[in-house]
Structure 1
Amino acid sequence: MDADVYRVVRGELIADAEVVQMLPRFLRTCQTTDDFWQHIKMEFSTYAERRAHIREVFAPLLEYLERAAAPGAEAITDALRNLQEGEVHRIWAKALARCASDPEGAVTAARTLLESVCMHILDGLAEGGTPLYTPGDDLPKLYRATAEQLNLAPSQHTEDVFKRLLGGCTTVVESIGAIRNRVGDAHGRGRRPVKIAPRHAHLAVNLAGAVALFLAETAEAKAPKQ
C-alpha cells in the first residue's frame, strides 16, 4: 500500500462528517501505513484472516456509499440535512449503511428515522408552546399528529386520489413500525425468529426515506418565510 495514497484517502474519509462514523477504528487511529501494519499483525497472524477482517469492517461503509449513489438517496440526504438536525441525518446514514450487513438494524433505524423526523417537525411547530406529542407516543401516533399539523391527513382532503395517496403514506408508516416490531433488533426473540433479507431492509429504508423526505419538504414549504 502506497503510504502517500493511504494518508490522502484517510484524510478525505475522516474529513467527511457522515463517513467518519462508519470507518473502522483502526483507520481512525492508524495515521500511517506503518501504524496499520503494526496493528493488523498484532490482531491476525495470517493474510487470509487480515483480508477477511478488512472486508468485514469496511462492509457498512461500502454499502452506504453504494446506497447513497442510488436514485433518490441524494435528495433525501439533502432534505434531511436541511432540517438542521444532525441526529436525523446520522440515523438516515445508519439506515443506509446497515441494509446489506445488518438488515434488522436497518429496519430499526428506518423506524427511528421517521420517529425523529416527526418529533423534529412537531417541536418546530410547537414553537415553545404546548407540546404536540408526548414522549411515550409510538410511530403511528407521531405520524398522525405530524400529518394533521401539515394538512397531510387523508381526512383533511376531499379529492379521492389525494386521500388514497396520503392514506398510502399512513399505511407505509404503520407497516414500517409493524415490521420493526416483528423483525427489528430492538426486541427479544423466540425460538423461531423471523429473518429479514437485505432486499426487505432496502424496501423499508427507502420507503421510510421517501416519507421522511415528503414530510421535510412539506414542513419547509409551510414554514413562514423569513
Structure 2
Amino acid sequence: MANKIPLSVIGVVSSVLAEYFYSHSKLNSLFLESGAPGADPGGNCEAKCQRWLMRCNDEPTVDALAVFGRVIQRFMDQEPSDQLQAVSDGQKRIRDSLAINQLSYQLNGFIILAGSSPAAKTLTDYLKVGDFASIEVEFERAVSHISQDPHAAITAASSIIEALCKTDIDKVGLEMPNKQTAIPLWRVVQQHLGLNLDPTLREDQKKILQGLASIIDGVAAYRTHIGSAHGRGLRPPEIVASEARLAVNAAHTLVIFIMEKWQGVMPHT
C-alpha cells in the first residue's frame, strides 16, 4: 500500500530514535501523541520503535506514513547544530533511507513522494487561508509537549510566530528582512497592522503592541537558549512547565490577534 512505511526506513528510524531519546517514557509519549495504535509493544528502545511502526503498517485503519511523519517531526525539524552532531547525522540517515524508497521528509511532519508536493496543508497554508482550527491544533500539539519536553514546546511556538510573520509579509507584499528570525520579522509586520482610530485607544493599543514585541523577543530568546531546534548542549538551562506554558500561551494570543486582524482588513485568498 502507498501509505506503508518501507521496512528499510523502519530499521533506520528505529535505530536513530532509540539512540536520541534513549527513554521508554519519552518514546511511549511520542508514539501515543502521534496517533500510533495500541499500547506499548515492549522490548528495548529500538525494538519498541520497530514494533510500533510495524503495527502502524499492519493496522488497516491507520495512515502509517502520516503517523510516521508525526513520530519523527520533533527530531527532523531541529536545525543542524555543531553541539549535537549526532542529530545532524541521524537526520541524514533518515533522509537517505527515505530517498532510496522515493520518499522525502518535509517540514511539519509530512512524508511525500520525492519530487512531489504535500497533499496535506502545511502550517503556512493554514495561515494563508485563516484556518483557525488547524492553528489551534498546532498550539495544542505544542501544549501537549510542555510537561514531557518544554524545550520542544518553545520551539514549536517560536516556529508558528515566524511562519505567521512570513505569511503576513508575503500576503501584504512587504519587504522581507535579511535576517528571517522572529524579532526582525515582527518589526516589519507591526508597521502595517493598523491601530484604533480613537486617539486615546490608539495610544493604549501602542502599549499593547510594544508588549507583544517583548513577548516575541522573549519566546525567540527562549528558543535560542533552550529550544530543541538549536541543540541543547551538555547542560542546557532548565525550564519548568509553567514557564514554557506562559511562553506558548503568549505566542498563541499574538498569533490569533494577527489572524483576526487579517479577517477584518484583508480579503481571503
Shared fold (TM-score, shorter chain, > 0.5): yes
TM-score (norm 1): 0.57
Residue 110 (structure 1) aligns with: 157
String of CA shifts for 1:91-116, please: whole Å, max 9, x gaps. Answer: 42431221111100000111001011
* Counterpart for residue 169 of structure 2: 122
1:199 alignment counterpart: 242
Write the mapping of 1:26-175 to structure 2, written as runs, cut at 5 A: 27=37, 40=41, 43-44=42-43, 83-84=130-131, 91-126=138-173, 132-134=175-177, 136-151=179-194, 159-175=202-218
Secondary structure class of the residue paired with 1:210: helix
- Residue 208 (str. 1) matches residue 255 (str. 2): no
Match runs of 1:17-28 below 5 Å? 22-25=33-36, 27=37
Distance 2:240 2:266 in 1: 39
* One-letter identity of the residue aligned with 1:23: S
Identity of aligned residues (%): 24
Change (3 A) 1:22 1:99: same
- Within 2, Cα distance between the matches of 1:91 and 1:110? 9
**Contact 2:152–2:228 (CA<8 Å) still a contact in 1?**
yes
Once the two structures are superposed, what CA deviation does each residue of 1:128-154 show, in whole Å capped at 9, x if it has no partner?
xxx5315741100111111112226xx
Rounded to whole Å, the distance in 1 between the matches of 2:268 and 2:130 is 15
Structure 2 residue 220 is the aligned partner of structure 1 residue 177: yes
Calculate the aligned-residue CA RMSD, in Å.
3.8
| CA distance in 2: counterparts of 1:132 and 1:89, whole angstroms | 28
Unmatched 5+ stretches in structure 2: 1-30, 53-125
Change (3 A) 1:225 1:86: closer
Which residues of structure 1 form unaligned runs of 5+?
1-19, 28-35, 54-78
- By how many angstroms is 1:21 displaced? 9.2
Q: Match of 2:194, SS? A: coil
d(CA) in 1 for partners of 2:35, 2:43? 16
Q: Secondary structure at the match of 1:143?
A: helix
Distance 1:185 1:206 in 2: 18
Distance 2:176 2:135 in 1: 18
* Contact in 1 for aligned 2:128/2:167 (Cα 8 Å): no
Gap change, CA 1:161 and 1:84, over 3 Å in 2: closer
Answer yes or no: is the 8 Å Cα contact 1:80–1:89 preserved in 2.
no
TM-score, normalising length: structure 2: 0.49
Q: Which has the higher contact order (CA 8 A, sep 6+)?
A: 1
**Number of corresponding residues:** 158
| CA distances 1:168-199 after superposition (whole Å, capped 9, x unpaired) | 11111111111111111122344532011111
Kept in 2: contact 1:80–1:213 (CA 8 A) = no
Greater mean deviation of Cα atoms: 161-170 or 99-108: 161-170
